[in-house]
Amino acid sequence: MNEELDHETVAHGMQPEDTPELRALYQGFKDNHLNPLWTQTGSLMPMTPTSDAVPYVWKWSDLLPLAEKSGELVPVGRGGERRAIGLANPGLGGAAYVSPTLWCAIQYLCPGENAPEHRHAQNAFRFVVEGEGVWTVVDGDPVRMSRGDLLLTPGWRFHGHHNVATEPMAWIDGLDIPFSRQMDVGFFEFGADRVTDNATPQFSQGERLWGHPGLRPLSGLENTVSSPLAAFRWEHTDRALTEQLLLEDEGQPATAGPGHAAIRYVNPTTGGDVMPTIRCEFHRLRAGASTPARQEVGSTVFQVFEGEGAVVLGGERRKLSKGDLFVAPSWVSWSLEAETQFDLFRFSDAPIMEALHFMRTKVSGA
Amino acid sequence: MNEELDHETVAHGMQPEDTPELRALYQGFKDNHLNPLWTQTGSLMPMTPTSDAVPYVWKWSDLLPLAEKSGELVPVGRGGERRAIGLANPGLGGAAYVSPTLWCAIQYLCPGENAPEHRHAQNAFRFVVEGEGVWTVVDGDPVRMSRGDLLLTPGWRFHGHHNVATEPMAWIDGLDIPFSRQMDVGFFEFGADRVTDNATPQFSQGERLWGHPGLRPLSGLENTVSSPLAAFRWEHTDRALTEQLLLEDEGQPATAGPGHAAIRYVNPTTGGDVMPTIRCEFHRLRAGASTPARQEVGSTVFQVFEGEGAVVLGGERRKLSKGDLFVAPSWVSWSLEAETQFDLFRFSDAPIMEALHFMRTKVSGA
Amino acid sequence: MNEELDHETVAHGMQPEDTPELRALYQGFKDNHLNPLWTQTGSLMPMTPTSDAVPYVWKWSDLLPLAEKSGELVPVGRGGERRAIGLANPGLGGAAYVSPTLWCAIQYLCPGENAPEHRHAQNAFRFVVEGEGVWTVVDGDPVRMSRGDLLLTPGWRFHGHHNVATEPMAWIDGLDIPFSRQMDVGFFEFGADRVTDNATPQFSQGERLWGHPGLRPLSGLENTVSSPLAAFRWEHTDRALTEQLLLEDEGQPATAGPGHAAIRYVNPTTGGDVMPTIRCEFHRLRAGASTPARQEVGSTVFQVFEGEGAVVLGGERRKLSKGDLFVAPSWVSWSLEAETQFDLFRFSDAPIMEALHFMRTKVSGA
Amino acid sequence: MNEELDHETVAHGMQPEDTPELRALYQGFKDNHLNPLWTQTGSLMPMTPTSDAVPYVWKWSDLLPLAEKSGELVPVGRGGERRAIGLANPGLGGAAYVSPTLWCAIQYLCPGENAPEHRHAQNAFRFVVEGEGVWTVVDGDPVRMSRGDLLLTPGWRFHGHHNVATEPMAWIDGLDIPFSRQMDVGFFEFGADRVTDNATPQFSQGERLWGHPGLRPLSGLENTVSSPLAAFRWEHTDRALTEQLLLEDEGQPATAGPGHAAIRYVNPTTGGDVMPTIRCEFHRLRAGASTPARQEVGSTVFQVFEGEGAVVLGGERRKLSKGDLFVAPSWVSWSLEAETQFDLFRFSDAPIMEALHFMRTKVSGA
């Protein structure tokens, strides 16, 4: 691909002389809600993806205190629906969009609180960087939320949360709200004001039916758009990553790269992504390992789960600790470096890009 | 679905008392590029799709003179690339977006002119409401453009146009530029300054290989993302529609509705849409026929090809004649009414909505 | 793959000493309907496919007179259902199986005769090497049968034939009867004793709805297992092949090999094979052209439609003229040689082999 | 479907008078390897599947002693390859085919013995009804075989077995040998004379990479035809079934029918069957539960894993105990009845029938 755009050409091509006649023409365009291509080609159709969104790092040490303060000052309830504080990409004009497609928020729930039930076309997940004590009730199925777990609420499922512990709990939410808002695909419906089932079982019904490796219930032979397994437990994730690194030690081709274990969370009915618009993964680097610089179409967010390391993001190196989040917009390069064992949760809009055949990837030397 | 949103609830829920402490919290959000959900739920997550784009009609009698004037005043060439005048949805702040996903422009090429070759990730088509004399050269294959034809230039194919006739020619272009721009998926590359093949064959190589009903060349057994048949001739479209109405007369279930013949243009390697993001169809209503009011997720554009009729668009009735265009944004209802035989070309972003499982449709009584 | 099977090893491995005890054991197997693997490995699991079926050529000059004589002596009607004379592969014990999966018969219908309606799970087609005047009525849709046409009657569609001309007509039938019989998948149901529609339209309803290149009726958006287009006309086949050879002359990569044009008949709703078990193709070689020797898993039948040439079949060269048929069982090599322009219809069980992932292909130098 | 076949019609239709001329015609058919349809319609194309195979029960108490005796008398080694004793359906002329598509054998391996490595296009699995101590080495990956486990050796993987315990071990093998033999799809290749890896790990590499519910290694993002998870442990199967029955107790729709828990073993890359030709399932009935009579296209084999019960097979009731096997050929009805908790392993050729769109199912009242 020709990376060397001749900007002079673009800027000067097809620009006619400024005459009264031309001004009249341009006024005619305006009056008739028209807009000529030749005055805007470069910005409309850049040589490579050039996002308004910028690469950015949020520190957990900044976020958590603000969430705690919100817990004191802001009641949770119908209308606002959630005590969720969205990461607002500095390039996107203040909207609570971490990227043009993705929403990422820290959500905070105090002991005894209920986040009321609702449902929406938007797909959602929660990932728990620390804490426990909240159950999210998804279409009547209470799902425990514990450290390291990924919990899904795919589109159009009723869901509410309640905290049965004595401590507040914080976690991150990921959704496709910006995509849904800009592409006009959202539907929303209120449900019960309090969660409809107060039970606090160790395992959800979905896990009990679907959480057995390679086994599918005969009562569930129809494939579903989103994963019917909606709780992915840390115990399994940790074991899968541990085994990959052990297999690498034994000389087997098990890892995503040297010292780099990684799993994708999948829909067991298809083997594909857990939801149609959001990909979720977990990455573990050995101390000292790093990943090659990578550019991808579409945007991605990482949260450090454990350990110390850094990201080189759009060419700039930033240190990362537990809870820190960063976003890499489309085609902005990122690579990870681990000081200690370095565990990161990741989500992205890759399913959108792949479904529409826009995905491209470029990997540079480590 | 609960269509009755209790706005009071939304407006007043979770709004804490305005105190200095709260202001400090909100300032903390701002300083850290955060944005709370509870102040914005309604607009972020509406009850049904609520587009910034508005339903709108453009009259061909307004567009064509402006295009002709552009032919006089604006040279076509490298940089601006095309003498294309984009329909700018009045709700989208002046951008040349006919909807949040789609671009629609009138393109105009004078005798002897060349629109230089380039390629881009964006998918494109042309539809010819009148005229002839232009060949579009797609990856080296010259494709004649004539009245009633649909011509494709799927993503990443080099393409340029030249007019070999003695008259100017106008047609409409459809692309996924707004989607590509907002989702950051675009790549672009310049090609030759003039079309690379000046031949003006009656049929393109693609048609000669692929334009035989139900027959696939053994040299083309791999499925392709976009249709390898890139020219859909009016002769075939007209015959298909004619046959549907005759079959309806014979009592066969051939039409889309009473008096309503319709075809979808498809990729012969899959039977699916011609390109991953754009659906193209052609609709014919008998004089006096009408369609039920229809709401769909995603946006759609129609252009009248022939005949007189009207659209009831978002509740408002607008008369339509040859060349007129209208856009229905997501979930805005539309229905067609035919005074004479009424032929319309249609395109939409439905493949996006279906691929990501956001499609919903609601049809009301005629 | 190790093609050098050590037959000594196979023959002598694991063969225990013949003792009374062993004989008692073997008798025990027999009494209990058991059969040990070690006495039969080589024949059960050969190194490469080793069909009981043999490669064979049937001459049209032998078949047609016998069909004509049947027309005189054997009435067509309910019970026998069809005046169809099956090709019986000499290796398959006299059964009317041209191969282990496929049935191929010459069918003959005299003026005024009716082949009664019935339906069955088995998939069927007809290909017309010469003649005209018969209509086959498929689920109520009368389909003209003319020289060079391929006509489908996919599984479980009612169908009957009648001859409205003044001359008898002969054609070939292809079905998956042997597969269905051996795999026990067949269902059968009698229908009307005479065809239910005596009309003799030029084009069937299916063609009128589906026979437009790249256009799909909105009334037919659900994909179907078999092709809804059930008549593939010689006019289109001939044109597609002609264009491929012209494109080859122009230096385009249009043919299956040098001087070798070929099309596959496909289901327009999927781009895949016309029926789940049978692939149909048409091949044309320029005079003097030949194809490389080819081995495939699964069996295939060819019929010469026009021209003079030869097949090298399992190493033996056989001359072929119009109407001649040959079968190549699994993994038996075949290559074609054209003396004049050489047109051949082909069908095979390749969709079975591909669907079950058993397909392998080996192509040797021409 | 018309189940009432008028046999008189079939028998007498189209049977011409026996004349010298007709005899000459029939001799002509014979001489030219032809066979007329009208003399054979009923048997070739039955009204419903009418298998040569018969429903049959094999008692473990008969099989095991014969296997033990084979262990004494017959050495295991190259040539015979396996000490496997195939179930020979009484209707299939003595061939070691449990059905027209499936092979089922009891395999027996003494302490210290090695079943040499080979590979073949045929798909295979082992299911362990009792015992332990054998490792099967599949493409270099040693896989422990223990009671209740399902182990796969999909097509074209090298595999051998060795017994490291002090006791002999017996298990059942299932393969698609009859299908492969009759359809001529088999390839075979010898490997090492002894297993290539003598390690006896608790878990195979495949399990360590793939045996985590809902998690997919990034090193394995390409879908595979057969399951990369090749060991399905009893621990998981038992837990999945237990949970289904508990969920049923809680009022959830978790079971296949009242008191009937069931899982299908699946390929985690697709959610589909573990191999292209063989479906594997495990069924558990509560004491006293039964299943409705079921007819399916294609054949199926059950083995009792634990408990006491019965099958009503083709209308005949047969008691079943641990280890007993039965086969239901195509369209023969079967239903299960449990006296105690009743656990059964099942395999079938359903993936063949579904892939080729021949599957039909008929369920009658319990």
Whole-number Å distance between alpha carbons of D135 and D199: 9
Nearest to A216 by CA among D268, D148, D216: D268
Choose which CATH entry (2.40.50.140, 3.10.20.90, 2.60.120.10, 3.30.470.20) describes domain C56-193+204-210: 2.60.120.10
Residue with tokens 């009148």: B130
Q: In a mutagenesis test of the A interface, which of B30, B38, B153, B227 is the best target, namely the one with the most A β-carbons within 10 Å?
A: B38
Would you state the pLDDT for residue A230?
96
Give the model's pLDDT for residue B147.
97
- Which chains pack against A, by 3+ Cβ pairs within 8 A? B, D
- Beta-carbon separation of B2 and A190 below 8 A: yes
pLDDT at C13: 63
Q: Which of the 8 DSSP states describes residue B38?
A: G
Q: Does A366 touch chain B (CB under 8 A)?
A: no
Q: What tens digit of pLDDT does each residue of B189-226 get?
A: 999 998 889 999 999 999 999 999 999 999 999 999 99
CA distance B221 to chain C (A): 9
Instruction: State the distance between the two ends of chain A, measured CA to CA, in whole angstroms.
Output: 22
Helix (H) or strand (E) holding B68: helix B60-73
What is the rounded average pLDDT of the residues B247-256?
97
Is B228 at the interface with chain C, CB within 8 A?
no
Which residues are CB-neighbours of D334 under 8 A, at least 6 positions away?
A: D55, D293, D294, D300, D311, D312, D313, D314, D326, D328
Residues of C in contact with B215 (CB under 8 A): 232, 236-237, 240, 263-266
Taking 70 as the threshold, does the pLDDT of residue C267 lie above it?
A: yes
For residues A262-270, average pLDDT: 98
Residue among C215, C239, C247 minimizing CB distance to B263: C215
Provide, rounded to the nearest whole percent, the portion of chain C with pLDDT above 70: 96
In order, the DSSP letters of B260-295 are EEEEEEB-TTTSSBSSSS-EEEEEEE-TT-B---EE
CB pairs under 8 A between A and D: 148
What pLDDT, on the 0 to 100 scale, is given for residue C39? 86
* Closest of D66, D116, D106 to residue D86, by C-alpha: D106
Q: Does A211 sit within 8 Å of D214, measured CB to CB? A: yes
For residue D9, pLDDT over 50 is answered with no
Contact D29 C66 (CB under 8 A): yes
Give the residue from chain D lying closest to C10, CA to CA: D79
Q: Which residues contact C350 (CB under 8 A, 6 or more apart)?
A: C273, C279, C296, C298, C300, C359
Indicate the SS3 state at residue B94.
Answer: coil
Taking each helix axis as running N to C, give the angle between helix C20-31 and helix D60-73, from 0 to 180 degrees, rounded to the nearest 10.
Answer: 150
**Chains A and C touch, contact meaning at least 3 pairs of CB atoms under 8 angstroms apart:** no
Nearest to D360 by CA among B162, C17, C24, C189: C189
Residue B268 and residue C268: Cβ atoms within 8 Å? yes
CB contact under 8 A, C267 and B264: no
Q: Check pLDDT > 90 for residue B282.
A: yes
- At residue B3, the pLDDT reads 38
Q: Find tokens 């009432």 and name the residue.
A: D4
What are A197's two structure tokens?
Answer: 């089932």
Three-state DSSP class for B115?
strand
A123: amino acid identity, one letter: N
Q: What are phi and psi of D326, to 5 degrees?
A: -140, 155
Average pLDDT over residues B108-137: 95
User: Which two tokens mark A157?
Assistant: 């499922």
Q: Please, are residues C323 and C303 in contact by the beta-carbon 8 Å criterion?
A: yes
- Where does the pLDDT of residue A8 fall: very low under 50, low under 70, confident under 90, or very high at 90 and above? very low
> Residue D181: enclosing H or E segment and its boundaries?
helix D177-183
Identify which of B340, B337, B345 has the alpha carbon closest to the alpha carbon of residue B303: B345
Tens-place pLDDT, residues D213-231 = 999 999 999 999 999 999 9
Cβ neighbours around D249 below 10 Å, total: 10
Residue C288, CA distances (Å) to A76, B50, C82, C309, C364 in order? 83, 67, 39, 9, 19
Cross-strand bridge partners of residue D361 = D296
Given a contact cutoff of 8 angstroms between Cβ atoms, the answer to whether C101 and D46 are in contact is: no
For residue D42, the model assigns a pLDDT of 77
B56 with B47: CB under 8 angstroms?
Answer: no
* Mean pLDDT, residues B151-166: 96
Residue C167: name the closest of C108, C228, C255, C98 by CA: C108
- C37/D74 CB distance under 8 A: no
Nearest CA-CA distance, residue B6 and chain A, Å: 9
Residue C285 · residue B239 · CB < 8 Å: no
pLDDT recorded at residue B354: 98
Task: List, in sequence order, the alpha helices (H) in B316-355.
Answer: 350-355
Residue D365 has pLDDT above 80, yes or no: no
| Chain A contact for D227 (CB, 8 A cutoff) | yes
**Averaged pLDDT, C305-313:** 98
Query: Could you tell me where the DSSP H helices lie in chain C?
Result: 7-12, 20-31, 41-44, 60-73, 177-183, 205-210, 234-249, 350-355
Judged against a pLDDT cut of 70, whether residue D13 lies above it is answered with: no
Please tell me which residue of chain B has the smallest CA distance to C230.
Answer: B214
Provide Rg for chain A, Cα atoms.
23
Q: What percent of chain D has pLDDT over 90?
A: 88
Q: Say yes or no to pLDDT of A2 above 60.
A: no
The strands making up C325-328's β-sheet, listed across from edge to edge, are B215-217, C260-265, C279-285, C342-348, C300-306, C325-328, C56-58
B64 touches chain A (CB under 8 A): no
Average pLDDT score over residue span D153-161: 97
Which residue shows structure tokens 């994730």?
A237
- For the sheet with D342-348, list strands across it: A215-217, D260-265, D279-285, D342-348, D300-306, D325-328, D56-58
Fold of B231-363: Jelly Rolls (2.60.120)
Fold matches, C56-193+204-210 and C231-363: yes
User: C354 — contact with chain D (CB < 8 Å)?
Assistant: no
Determine contact, residues A173/A124, Cβ cutoff 8 Å.
Answer: yes
Q: What is the mean pLDDT of chain A?
A: 94
User: Which of C141, C207, C216, C281 has the most B C-beta neighbours within 10 Å, making it the best mutation to test the interface with B?
Assistant: C216
Residue in D with minimal Cα distance to C62: D32
Pick from A4-18, A332-346, B310-324: least confident: A4-18
Confidence of residue A366 (pLDDT cuts 50, 70, 90): very low
Contact criterion met (CB below 8 Å) for C172 and C325: yes
pLDDT digits (tens, 9 = 90+) for D250-272: 999 999 999 999 999 999 999 99
Across residues A123-135, what is the average pLDDT?
Answer: 95
Residue A95, CA distances (Å) to A181, A332, B37, B48, B178 in order: 11, 20, 10, 20, 19
> Residue C363 to residues A222, C83, C292, C294, C302: CA-CA distances in angstroms?
40, 38, 6, 5, 18
Domain extents in chain C: 56-193+204-210, 231-363
Share of chain B above pLDDT 70, in %: 96
Q: Is A247 on the interface with D (CB under 8 A)?
A: yes
Give the Cα separation of B354 and A69 in Å (integer). 42
With CA atoms as reference, the chain C residue closest to D81 would be C38
Q: Does C329 touch chain D (CB under 8 A)?
A: yes
In this prediction, residue B322 carries a pLDDT of: 98
- Exposed/middle/buried for residue B310 (C-beta within 10 Å: 0-12, 13-18, 19+): middle
Mutate to test the interface with C, among D2, D38, D278 (most CBs of C within 10 A): D38
Chain A residue with the nearest C-alpha to that of D247: A205
Residue C21, chain D, CB below 8 Å: the answer is yes
Q: Residue D318: count other Cβ atoms within 10 Å of its Cβ.
A: 15
Confidence band (pLDDT; 50, 70, 90) for B80? Answer: confident
| pLDDT > 90 fraction of chain C, expressed in percent and rounded | 88
Q: How far apart (Å, rounded) are the C-alpha atoms in residues A335 and A316? A: 10
Give the residue-averaged pLDDT of C115-127: 96
CB D356 within 8 A of CB C352: yes
Lowest mean pLDDT among A211-220, C169-178, D72-81: D72-81
Contact yes or no for A113/A163 (Cβ under 8 A): yes
Find the Cα–Cα–Cα–Cα dihedral D197, D203, D208, D209, rounded to 10°: 50
Q: Which of B3-12, B50-59, B101-110, C288-297 has the lowest mean pLDDT?
A: B3-12
**Is A215 in the B-facing interface, judged by CB distances under 8 Å?**
no
Q: Which two tokens stand for residue A153?
A: 């609420």
Chain segment D95-148, per-residue pLDDT in tens = 999 999 999 999 999 999 999 999 999 999 999 999 899 999 999 999 999 999
CB contact under 8 A, B236 and C254: no
Distance from CA of D12 to the nearest CA of C (A): 7
Closest partner residue to B216 among C205, C252, C264, by Cβ?
A: C264
Cα atoms in the Cβ-side hemisphere of radius 13 Å centred on B198: 7
- Chain C partners of B248 at a C-beta cutoff of 8 Å? none
What is the pLDDT of chain D when averaged over all its residues?
94
| pLDDT over threshold 90, residue D209 | yes
* β-bridge mates for residue B322, sequence order: none
Residue A215's pLDDT is: 98
What's the mean pLDDT in B308-313? 98
pLDDT band, very low/low/confident/very high, at C9 (cuts 50, 70, 90): very low
Residues of chain C contacting B256 with CB distance shorter than 8 Å: 217-219
| CB-CB under 8 Å, D28 with C69 | yes
Mean pLDDT along residues C76-90: 90
Residue C6 has pLDDT above 60, yes or no: no
Cβ partners under 8 Å of residue A43, min gap 6? none
Tokens 């209503």 belong to residue: B285
In angstroms, the CA A348 to CA B352 distance is 18
Residues from chain D that touch C21, judged by Cβ atoms under 8 A, are: 69, 73
Looking at residues B94-109, what average pLDDT do you find?
96
Q: Which tokens go with D243? A: 């949970």
Residues of D in contact with A209 (CB under 8 A): 243-244, 247, 254
CA distance B185 to chain A (A): 6
pLDDT score at A15: 76
Tokens linked to B282: 């052609």
What would the mean pLDDT of C255-266 be, rounded to a whole number? 98
Say how many residues make up chain A: 366
Quote the tokens at residue D12: 């007498």
Record: contact C215-B223, CB cut-off 8 A: no
- Whether D81 shows a pLDDT value over 90: the answer reads no
- Supply the pLDDT for residue D80: 79
Q: Do D358 and C121 touch (CB under 8 A)?
A: yes
Q: pLDDT per residue over D266-317, tens digit each?
A: 999 999 999 999 999 999 999 999 999 999 999 999 999 999 999 999 999 9
- Confidence at A13, pLDDT banded by 50, 70, 90: low
Q: Which of residues 82-141 of D touch A (CB under 8 A)?
A: none
With CA atoms as reference, the chain D residue closest to A267 would be D214
Using a CB-CB distance cutoff of 8 angstroms, which residues of chain A are in contact with residue B354?
none
Beta carbons of C247 and B208 less than 8 angstroms apart: yes
User: Rounded CA gap, C146 and C143, in Å?
Assistant: 10
Q: Which one-letter amino acid corresponds to residue B103?
A: W
Note whether C74 contacts D120, CB cutoff 8 Å. no
- Note whether A44 contacts B225, CB cutoff 8 Å: no
**Which residues on chain A are in Cβ contact (under 8 Å) with B189?**
1-2, 47
Residues of D within 8 A of A243 (CB-CB) are 208-209
CB C278, CB C103: distance < 8 Å: no
Instruction: Give the percent of chain D with pLDDT over 70.
Output: 96
The answer, yes or no, to whether residue D210 has pLDDT greater than 80, is yes
